[in-house]
């Protein structure tokens, strides 16, 4: 066997595997019809409704009160930036004319940013989930779970899928041990024995990386829909039906699930839980409105199998600046699907809870990995965006422009701030107060999703990031060609 080919072994012997495959092949199950050419809008089997309209949520007085608070908070932010910051900037220009090269672009960015925040808020307020697939007509679906040194947690992840509300004759679970050096394989085999005919255990004899493990699962899968699930993540019972729902529209190639924190104990996990709701739920709700979710997360994403097969070869062999791409496989696959002409959307009702770092060092490693893939895939999307529909192209370009300009402007402003604090210490107090105001407004968004005093952890995270995580993006940018997973 060629050493470049993935070697996989199964817990089942050949006879059992053959019997299982034959039984599944003869099972009567509705299938998703695939288009012969480019994606086109059409209802297909396996969905609850012929309508494309999202589900309506019940009227909630609390929600509308929060919407009012958000709009009022945005008004305060506008006032603070125009009255407080604006006057201070004019004063600085009078004292230091050379600062105009920084201040004028920064002022323009602030105006554009406020416009983007307003747009996002309005779109987010009217976001509704897609209808879930019905149990009776659910399409064939394969869940692919790659695992490496996960231990007992992988069994918890598998059980959450095996016990999910989905027809057993239309569900397949493929679990790939990517050369683990602990007892992960034992737990995978235990799951295969506990759920015969449902769970298939596969194994790489040596570690090849998450992308290779996912590729093996995609190649072996028989479902019309592929669902990726991280081995340290647990889905809610109705997540599979929910994530299958949007695929009645043939233009949709990927559906992102809602990611929450599984281990919500300790300061860092609680801060990340708030951040996940703001980053993943709020932003992806908005991106879904123009059908261009930039990253469908590996923790829980539904994929159209035929679309994945069309880009699988290029995705497996992706290189960047001459270096093999070993992480950021979820964002990369999303980009390949967007490039192929498919839309990507968000399904709030498909919920997964994932384990997050509990200590600072592991948190930094996770963010470094994420930011490296962010840089790489943002550069790729700068080319892909011109292939998107006109409305999507315009919104995405504006969004990416404002979002990415924040990096040079914020770091330049930080240098200016350090200089000003040396001469006028009270400037630091004003900056911290302004940060608190913006952070509190953001927390009102969080309260719309979850009524919890944990929103205070979101305020704390703002300062935590400002003082302890500010260095991560520049470092990731300078080491963008690195291949190390950092946690392996």
Instruction: Walk along the chain (488 residues) in steps of 10 and give the mean pLDDT of each run.
Output: 49 46 41 45 41 52 82 76 60 59 71 88 93 96 97 97 97 97 96 96 94 97 98 98 97 97 95 91 95 97 98 95 90 98 98 97 95 96 96 96 88 71 69 78 84 88 92 93 70
**pLDDT score at 88:** 62
How far does CA 281 lie from the centroid of its chain? 9
DSSP 81: I
User: Which residues on neighbouring strands pair with residue 187, listed in sequence order?
Assistant: none
Domains of the chain in sequence order: 8-20+132-386 (3.90.550.10)
Which positions ≥6 away from 64 have C-beta within 8 Å? none
**Residues 6 or more apart whose Cβ sits within 8 Å of residue 284:** 256, 293, 346
The torsion angles phi and psi of 203, rounded to 5 degrees, stand at -145, 135
- Cα separation, 314 vs 316, in Å, equals 6
Instruction: State residue 142 phi and psi, 5-degree precision.
Output: -120, 125
Is pTM beyond 0.75? Reply is: yes
**CB of 144 within 8 A of CB of 225?**
no
Look up residue 182 and give its two tokens: 């602990």
Q: How far apart are CA 405 and CA 410, in angstroms?
A: 8
Q: What is the DSSP letter of 21?
A: H
Phi-psi region of 174 (alpha: psi -120 to 50; beta: other; left: phi over 0): beta
Mapped onto helix, strand or coil, the DSSP state of residue 345 is strand
The closest alpha carbon to 132, from 236, 261, 284, belongs to 236
Task: Compute the distance between CA of residue 174 and CA of residue 162 in angstroms, rounded to an integer.
Answer: 11
pLDDT of residue 340: 97
Please tell me the predicted confidence (pLDDT) of residue 133.
97
- Cα diameter, the chain: 83
Query: Rounded CA gap, 128 and 389, in Å?
Result: 22
DSSP secondary structure code for residue 292 in this structure: B
Number of other CB atoms surrounding residue 38 within 10 Å: 10
> Going by C-beta distance under 8 Å and a sequence separation of 6 or more, which residues neighbour residue 320?
376, 480, 481
Say whether 115 sits in a helix, a strand or coil. helix
pLDDT at position 21 is 42
Looking at residue 204, what DSSP letter applies? E
């Amino acid at each position: 066997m060629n050493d470049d080919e993935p070697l996989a072994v199964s817990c089942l012997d050949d006879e059992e595997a053959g019997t299982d495959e034959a039984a599944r092949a003869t099972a009567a199950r509705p299938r998703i019809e695939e288009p012969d050419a480019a994606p086109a809008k059409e209802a297909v089997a396996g969905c609850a409704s012929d309508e494309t309209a999202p589900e309506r949520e019940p009227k909630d007085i609390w929600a509308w009160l929060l919407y009012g608070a958000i709009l009022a908070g945005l008004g305060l932010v506008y006032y603070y930036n125009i009255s407080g910051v604006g006057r201070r900037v004019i004063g600085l220009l009078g004292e230091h004319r050379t600062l105009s090269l920084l201040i004028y672009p920064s002022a323009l960015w602030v105006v554009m940013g406020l416009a983007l925040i307003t747009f996002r808020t309005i779109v987010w307020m009217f976001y509704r989930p897609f209808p879930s697939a019905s149990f009776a007509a659910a399409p064939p679906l394969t869940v692919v779970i790659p695992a490496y040194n996960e231990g007992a947690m992988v069994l918890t992840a598998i059980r959450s899928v095996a016990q999910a509300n989905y027809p057993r004759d239309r569900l397949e679970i493929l679990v790939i041990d990517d050369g683990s050096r602990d007892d992960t394989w034992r737990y995978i085999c235990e799951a295969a024995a506990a759920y015969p005919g449902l769970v298939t255990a596969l194994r790489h004899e040596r570690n090849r990386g998450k992308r290779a493990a996912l590729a093996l699962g995609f190649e072996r899968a028989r479902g019309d829909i592929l669902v990726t699930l991280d081995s340290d993540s647990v889905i809610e019972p109705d997540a599979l039906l929910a994530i299958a729902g949007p695929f009645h529209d043939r233009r949709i190639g990927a559906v992102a699930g809602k990611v929450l924190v599984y281990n919500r104990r300790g300061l860092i996990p609680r801060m990340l839980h708030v951040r996940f709701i703001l980053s993943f739920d709020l932003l992806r709700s908005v991106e879904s409105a123009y059908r261009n979710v930039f990253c469908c997360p590996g923790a829980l994403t539904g994929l159209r199998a035929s679309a994945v097969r069309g880009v699988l070869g290029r995705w497996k062999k992706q290189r960047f600046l001459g270096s093999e791409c070993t992480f950021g496989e979820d964002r990369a696959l999303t980009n390949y699907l967007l490039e192929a002409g498919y839309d990507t959307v968000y399904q709030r009702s498909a919920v997964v809870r994932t384990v997050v770092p509990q200590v600072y060092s592991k948190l930094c490693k996770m963010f470094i990995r994420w930011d490296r893939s962010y840089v790489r895939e943002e550069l790729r999307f700068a080319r892909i965006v011109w292939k998107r529909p006109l409305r999507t192209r315009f919104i995405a370009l504006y969004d990416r422009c404002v979002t990415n300009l924040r990096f040079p402007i914020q770091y330049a402003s930080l240098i200016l701030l350090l200089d000003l604090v040396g001469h006028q210490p009270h400037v630091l107090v004003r900056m911290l107060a302004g940060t608190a105001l913006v952070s509190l407004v953001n927390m009102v968004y969080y309260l719309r999703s979850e009524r919890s005093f944990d929103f205070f952890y979101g305020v704390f995270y703002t300062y935590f990031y400002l003082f302890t995580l500010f260095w991560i993006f520049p470092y990731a940018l300078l080491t963008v060609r690195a291949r190390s997973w950092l946690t392996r």
